[in-house]
Structure 1
Amino acid sequence: MAIKCRKCNKTIGRAEDYISCRKECAANYHLPCVNLTKSAVTSLKDTGSILTWGCGFCSPLSLNNSADPLLDSGALQKLPDFLKEVFAEFSRTVNENFKKLNEQVAGLKHENSLLREEISRVLQQHLDCNLQISKNNNNNPAISYAATLKNTSAVVIKPKNTTQTTMQTKSDIVTSFNLENTDKLGIAKVKSIKNGGVLLQCHDPGEFKRLVQNNKLEEKYDIHDVKTPLPRIRISGISDGINEEMIVPLLLKQNKHIFSVSSQCVKLLPVKNHPKIFQVILQVDVTSYRNALSLGHCLIGLDGCNIYDAVDVIRCYRCNGYNHSVKTCKKSISCPRCSEAHVLQDCKATSEQLKCVNCTSIKSKDNLSTEETSHACWDYAHCVFYKNLIKKVKSDLFGISDL
C-alpha cells in the first residue's frame, strides 16, 4: 500500500526520505513539506527526540501559528472555492475565539489574585478590630507583679553533700555574696527545696551565674538554671502547604498584636480524620496566651484558624492520678471508667455505672453530687477534679487565674 504525505497528498516514493508524526494524527510527511533536512532528522534520531516529534498540524496549539495547516492541507485543494472560503472563515473564527479565551483566563487569574489579597486584608482588619474591642472592654487586665515573677527564670543551688541542711546552704550564700546589693543579683524570690537545696528566682540568671563563678561556691554546690515553663495553645485549620518553619514568622507578621517574638512552635500534626488540614501546638508568653484565647482565632497565610487552650497535665494510665506516669506510679490499678480495681480492657460497666476516681476522692470536700462524679476519667469537660487542677497549674506556673 502506497504511503502518502498528508501535506501535499502525494505518494512518498521508496527512495524518498520522510518522517512520521508521533502525536495525534500519526501521519507521514515529506521532509521538505515540514521544513526538515536530512541532517535535522539525523539530529532528532541521535537525541531520541524523533520518538516525540509532532507535525504541529494536529495540535490545538497550531491555531496560534501564522500559517493555517488546515488550509494548507492538500485534501482541501480539491474542494470547490466556496467550501475553501467556508473553511477559511471557520479557521479564523477558531483562532479568534482561542485568543479571546486566553485573554479571559489571564483576566480571571488577575482577579483571583486581587481577591485573595482583599480577603487577607479584611481578615487582618477583623482581627485588629476584635483586639481593639477586647482592650476597650478591659477583657485583658494588666498582669500583676506576682504574675511577672512567674515569668522570671530561676537558679537551683544544691549541696553536693545531701545531708546538709537548707539553713547551711543559705548561710553559705550570704557569706559568698553581698546581699545588700540585691539589684545586681536580681533575686526576686527564695524557696527551700529537698536535700538542703535552695531555688532563687531572679530576673537575670546569667548575671547571677557569672557572679557565682567568681567565688568558691561551685566547689560545694551544684548550680544550674531552671526555666519557668510557658503556657501552650493549639491552632487548628492550617493548609497543607505551610510547614513548621513558616508558622511563627507568619503569626508574627499577620498577627503582631497577638503574638510576641518569644512564641515557639512545639509540634505540627494533622487534624484527626482530615489528613490535609493541620494543627500546631505553640508555646507562648502569658500576654500572648491571654490575647490568643480572648480572640479565639488568628490568620496564618490565607487560613482563618481557630485557637484553643493547650495547657494540660500528665495523667497516669495505671491509677488515673495526675502529675506522674505509669513508670513512676506506686499506687494500685484503677479503672478509668468505673474506678474498680481492674484494667480498662476488663471493664464491663454500662454508661449508667461510670464513676471518676478523681472526682470521687474530692466528693465530700467539694460537696459534689453523684451526678457530678458519674463520668469517665478522660471526660475532661465534666471532670471537676481536672478543671480545678488546670486552674491551679495556670495559677502556680503562669500567674493566670481569670481564664
Structure 2
Amino acid sequence: MEKKCDKCKSTIRGEVGNIRCEGVCGKYYHLTRRCSGLDQCSIDKLQECEMLRFMCADCVHYVNNVDDILKDMQMVVKQNGQQLQEYRSEFDNALRKNEQEIKHLLQAVETAFSERIRAMQKAQESCEKSVKEVNKIREIAEGFKASSEQVCVELKTNKDDNKKMIEAISNENKKMCNELKENVNNVEAKISYANITKMKPSKKQDAEMTKNDLNSKVDPKELQITNIVTTQSGVVIVESKNDQERDKIKNAIETNLGNAYEVKIPKKVKPTVVVSGINFKYDNDELAQRIKRQNACLTETDIKIIKQYEKKKGSNVYYNAVLEVDVEAFTNILAGERINVGWERCRVYDAVQVLCCFKCKGFHHKASGCQEREVCTKCLGEHKHTQCDKEPIKKCINCIRANKELNLGLNDNHDTMDRACPVYQQKLSARKKKIVY
C-alpha cells in the first residue's frame, strides 16, 4: 500500500525521505521542513538519537489538551469528595434527628395506648358495678314477690286479720317500690349519661397547661372522677360519678383556680318531637292547648312549641310542628306513634336537630352571624348554590375541613348536606348526649 504525506497528500517513495508520527495519529510526512515542520538540526538529532520520537503538531496539541482535561478532572474529583463529605455529615445529623423523633413518637404512642387501656379498665369496672346494681334490683324484686306470696297465704288462712294484713301489704309495697325506684335511679344515673364539668381557660393555651394547673392547685383525693377529656383549645372536660360529685368538682376548681378558668355544667336539653301532617295553621299557644286537651297522656304536660313550618306535597299544603316536652311525655308520644290534632291523627317522631349554617355549611351557628366565606354545596366555590351553573362534584366541605385540621382520614366523597356524613353524625351524637331521655 502506498504511503501518502498527510501534509502535501503526495505519494512517499522510499524509506529515507519520510518520517512517521509516533503520537496518536501515526500519519506519515515528507522529511522536509515544508511537510514535517522540522528544521535541519532537529532532523539530524532524530537520526542521531534513537530515543527521540517525532510527533506532529496536531498530536502535540492533543496531548496538551489531555493534560489540561486530566487536571480539570482531578479538580472536579477533589471538589466532589469534599461535597460528599459534607453530604455524609448532613445525612448523619438527619439520621440521628429522625431516630430521636421516631423514639419520641413511639413513646407518645405507648403513652396513649396505656391511657386507652386504663380508660377501658375504668369502663369495665363501671359496667361491673352497674351489673351488681341490676342484680341487687333483681334480688329486691324476688324478695318482694316472695313476701307478697307469703302475705297472700296468710290472708287466706286468717280472715279476721285482713285489715292488718292489707296495711302490712301496703306498707311493704311502698317500701319495696321506694327501694326499687332508688336503685333504678342510681343505675340510670350511671348508665344513661355522664355528669360533666367543663372548664375553659380565660386566655389561649393548650390542654397540657390546663392539666398542669389542675394537678398543682386542685387535690383530686376527695373527688370521684371517672374520666378526663382534653381538646386542642385548652378545654378540659371532667366526668364524675353523679350530680353530687359533679358539683363538688365544680366548686373545687372554682375555689382553687379563681377567675383563670370559666367552669360550666353543660345544660341538659329536653327531648323534642316533630308532629307531622297538621292540616291547619294554629298559633303556638292554641296548638299546645289543642294537643293537651285531645290527648289524655299529655293533659298535665308542659308543652313548648319550638317552631312550625309549612310543607307541600303536590298541590296539598300541610304543617309540621316541633314540640319540646318532658321525658315522660316524650316516651308516651313516641310509644303511641300518633297524636290527635283537630280532626287528624298526626304522626310523631324524634326531632334531634343540629343547627347548620346556610352560608359556610358549618354547624352550631346561623348564617346571619357567620364570619366565614360562602360555600357552594355543588362545586365548593365561594358563591351561593343558587348561582352555580357547574356540575356537582359530590364533595363534603365539612369532611374536607375535618381532615385538614385533625387529619382524620374521613371519606369526603358525598354531598355536604348528606345526613349520613360522619361529621354530621358526630355532631348529632354529641347533641343527643345532652338530651335527658
Common topology (TM > 0.5): no
* Structure with more relative contact order (C-alpha pairs < 8 Å, separation 6 or more): 1
Q: Which has the larger radius of gyration?
A: 2
**Structure with the higher fraction of residues in helix conformation:** 2
TM-score by length of 2: 0.39
TM-score by length of 1: 0.42
